[in-house]
C-alpha cells in the first residue's frame, strides 16, 4: 500500500510538471520595425539572433514568431538601445533582430545570444560584454576594444585594430588571429582559451588551466598559474 501511494504521488507530480509546459505549436511568422533613433550602445539579454551593421541611418527590424514579438520590449535608456522580453520564459521559436546604426560604442549581449557585428570603423573605443554562453562575431576596426567574455561565451574577431584588452573567464574563448593589434592585455581564467595576433607588446595573466596562443613577434610579459600556458603559434 505504501509503495502504491508513493507511486501515485510521483505520478501526480510528473503530470503537474508536464501540464506546466505548453507546446506553442508551429511558428506564426511575423515581422515588426521600430522607429527609435540616436543610439550608439546595445543591450540584449535573451537568446536572440542579432545582426548589427554600420549604416548612415537607424533601423531596427525584427522577425520571428508573432507571440514572441508581441512580448518584446524595445526602448532606449540614454543612448543605449535595449531589447528584451517582458517575461522570462522558455521559448521554442527563434527571434531575429537586424539593427543598422551609424556608430557603435558598446555591446552587452547575454543569455545564449548569437550575434554578428560588422562594418564599424573608429579610432575610439568599443566596450564589449558577452555572458551566458553567448557567441559573437565582430568584423570591424577600433582604436581599442575592451572586452569581458564570461560564462562559456565565444568572441570571434576579424579586421584591424590598435589595442586589445580582454578578460576571459568560465571556459570562454577569444579567436582573434584575424584581428591584428599593436598592443594587447589578456586576463584569462577558468579554463578559457585566447588566440590573437600582436606586433609590439603582449601582457598576459593566465590561471586555472587556461591557454593563450599568439602570433607575431611582440615583447611578452606573462604570469601563469594552475597549468596555464602562454605560447607562440
> What digits encode the pLDDT tens for the residues 61-85?
999 999 999 999 999 999 999 999 9
| pLDDT at residue 8 in the model | 43
Span 162-185, average pLDDT: 99
Q: How many Cβ atoms are within 10 Å of 180's Cβ, its own excluded?
A: 20
Domain ranges of the chain: 24-103, 105-233
Instruction: Supply angle C-alpha 178, 184, 188, rounded to 5.
Output: 95
Grid cell digits, residue 57: 541611418
Backbone angles phi, psi at 42, to 5 degrees: -130, 140
205 CB contacts (<8 Å, ≥6 apart)? 186, 187, 188, 222, 223, 224
CA distance linking residue 144 with residue 9, whole number of Å: 60
102-131 pLDDT tens trace: 999 999 999 999 999 999 999 999 999 999
- Nearest Cα residue to 124 out of 87, 166, 181, 163: 163
Structurally, what CATH architecture does the domain formed by 24-103 represent? 3 Solenoid (2.160)
| 105-233 and 24-103 share a CATH fold | yes
CATH class of 105-233: mainly beta
Give the 3-state secondary structure of residue 8.
helix
- Report the candidate in 165, 181, 172, 171 with the shortest Cα–Cα distance to residue 214: 181
Q: How confident is the model at residue 10 (pLDDT cuts 50, 70, 90)?
A: very low
- Residue of 161, 162, 160, 136 lying closest to 148 (CA atoms): 136
Amino acid at each position: 500500500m505504501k509503495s502504491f501511494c508513493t507511486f501515485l504521488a510521483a505520478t501526480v507530480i510528473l503530470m503537474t510538471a508536464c501540464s506546466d509546459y505548453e507546446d506553442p505549436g508551429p511558428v506564426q511568422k511575423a515581422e515588426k520595425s521600430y522607429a527609435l533613433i540616436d543610439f550608439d550602445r546595445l543591450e540584449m539579454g535573451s537568446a536572440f539572433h542579432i545582426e548589427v551593421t554600420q549604416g548612415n541611418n537607424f533601423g531596427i527590424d525584427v522577425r520571428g514568431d508573432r507571440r514572441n514579438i508581441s512580448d518584446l520590449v524595445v526602448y532606449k535608456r540614454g543612448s543605449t538601445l535595449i531589447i528584451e522580453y517582458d517575461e522570462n520564459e522558455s521559448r521554442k521559436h527563434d527571434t531575429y533582430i537586424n539593427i543598422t546604426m551609424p556608430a557603435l560604442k558598446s555591446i552587452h549581449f547575454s543569455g545564449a545570444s548569437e550575434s554578428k557585428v560588422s562594418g564599424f570603423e573608429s579610432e575610439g573605443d568599443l566596450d564589449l560584454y558577452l555572458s551566458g554562453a553567448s557567441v559573437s562575431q565582430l568584423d570591424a576596426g577600433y582604436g581599442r576594444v575592451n572586452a569581458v567574455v564570461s560564462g562559456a561565451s565565444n568572441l570571434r574577431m576579424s579586421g584591424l585594430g590598435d589595442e586589445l584588452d580582454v578578460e576571459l573567464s568560465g571556459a570562454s574563448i577569444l579567436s582573434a588571429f584575424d584581428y591584428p593589434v599593436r598592443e594587447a592585455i589578456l586576463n584569462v581564467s577558468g579554463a578559457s582559451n585566447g588566440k590573437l595576433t600582436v606586433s609590439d607588446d603582449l601582457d598576459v595573466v593566465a590561471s586555472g588551466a587556461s591557454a593563450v596562443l599568439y602570433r607575431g613577434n611582440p615583447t611578452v610579459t606573462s604570469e601563469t598559474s594552475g597549468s596555464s600556458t602562454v605560447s607562440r603559434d
